[in-house]
Amino acid sequence: MAIHLADRVTRIKESPSTAATQRVRDLRAEGVDVLSLTVGEPDFDTPDFVKAAAEQAIRSGDTKYTAVNGTPALQQAILDRVEARIGLRYSRGELAVGGGGKQVIFLALMATVQQGAEVIIPAPYWVSYPDMVAANDGTPVVVATSEADGFLLTAEALAEAITPRTTWLILNSPGNPTGAVYGHAELEALAAVLRAHPQVNVLTDEIYDEVSFGAEPVPSLLQVAPDLRDRVLLVNGVSKTYAMTGWRLGYGMGPQALVQAMNKMQSQVSTCASSISQAAAAAALSGDQSFVAEANEIYRRRRELVVAGINAIPGLSCTSPDGAFYVYVNCGEVLGKAAPDGRVIDSDEALTLYLLDRARVAVVHGAAFGLSPYFRVSFATSEEVLEASLRQIREALAELS
């Protein structure tokens, strides 16, 4: 059989974070005891009342195809949640539902990006953004941010990156891999630039919006600049907030013409999201929210543990994230040193391989997120694992010369 792969396959790569997690699984299957700080998902179980809603849907026979953009109950729960969150009311015709926020983003790009289109992506970025753009024949325009600016895209950098071919700006707040949060002032400054460039749409990925550590809720661009509503696609889901990554349920709210195109694509891709997952998501969004606050307090303690632990290790440093459950660790001072076997640690990827081999701790290298020399630590795991990981990283780095 002769299979010729399409260019869209050969020009993208496997998700580095997925690959790192699979490497951990493979090593554990071989009997190697590895501590994993790679996984971008809550370690908590899905709340019982959410699981009960799914079980009830199964027993009630709600196991058939649904409308492409969800059941009436899920639609209502999403519309109500978005209105409560950002103060804007959307209609059912402005709603897309997919198998996770990831699919919703892909559908949006599939519906709008073509040869010659440019998509601005601040770095460090979630690993999938550039490849999803490339898979849809677009050009990712990566704009580096700096630790000094809190890993946030500045208005000046945005203005410089925009060209007549710019189709989208992707904003992720709180961000993966840094936990950086755009405040009202930063969003106002970006909105001022966007108003001067009406051809630029904004995909605002707010999947971590409820995992935050500030005194106030994480602001949305739509709250700061509601006049941009007809150019903004808000993407969210239940994966991170409610520990429902495997349920695969995400949604997008945006201009009706865009959403209709996305739903047309969805009708040919998978018809609809799982009816069982939709029932669970509707319960999660409209039910008791105490789980969210309880999880955040645990994340807060873990964040403090990891930030203090990293900053106590010679050669490493990090800032404290305002949201999500990641720390982006600066490892520049370690590069150039030699391992006990003589190999030189000449990149953040080389360092992560060394830590996996010597410390038996798995992290994701910064180059995968578009900004070196860093590596990402996920603190969505137990304090016991975090403490052991920090200790083993410290011991391994002490062996470098």
In order, the DSSP letters of 110-126 are HHH--TT-EEEEEES--
The pLDDT of residue 267 is 96
**What are the CA-CA distances from residue 160 to residues 147, 156, 387 (Å)?**
19, 6, 43
The pLDDT of residue 17 is 67
The vertex-116 CA angle with 111 and 120, nearest 5°, equals: 75
Three-state DSSP string of 312-335: CCCCCECCCCCECCEEEEECCCCC
pLDDT 10s per residue in the chain (401 long)?
A: 688 888 888 888 877 667 777 777 887 788 778 899 998 899 999 999 999 999 999 999 999 999 999 999 999 999 999 999 999 999 999 999 999 999 999 999 999 999 999 999 999 999 999 999 999 999 999 999 999 999 999 999 999 999 999 999 999 999 999 999 999 999 999 999 999 999 999 999 999 999 999 999 999 999 999 999 999 999 999 999 999 999 999 999 999 999 999 999 999 999 999 999 999 999 999 999 999 999 999 999 999 999 999 999 999 999 999 999 999 999 999 999 999 999 999 999 999 999 998 999 999 999 999 999 999 999 999 999 999 999 999 999 999 99
Strand partners, 13: none
Residue 222 has which token pair? 């739509």
- The CATH classification number of 7-45+291-398 equals 3.90.1150.10
Where in the sequence of the chain do the CATH 3.90.1150.10 domains occur? Answer: 7-45+291-398
Burial class (CB in 10 A: 0-12, 13-18, 19+), 297: exposed
Where in the sequence of the chain do the CATH 3.40.640.10 domains occur? Answer: 48-286
Burial class (CB in 10 A: 0-12, 13-18, 19+), 385: middle
- The CATH classification number of 48-286 equals 3.40.640.10
The two beta strands, 326-330 and 374-378, are antiparallel
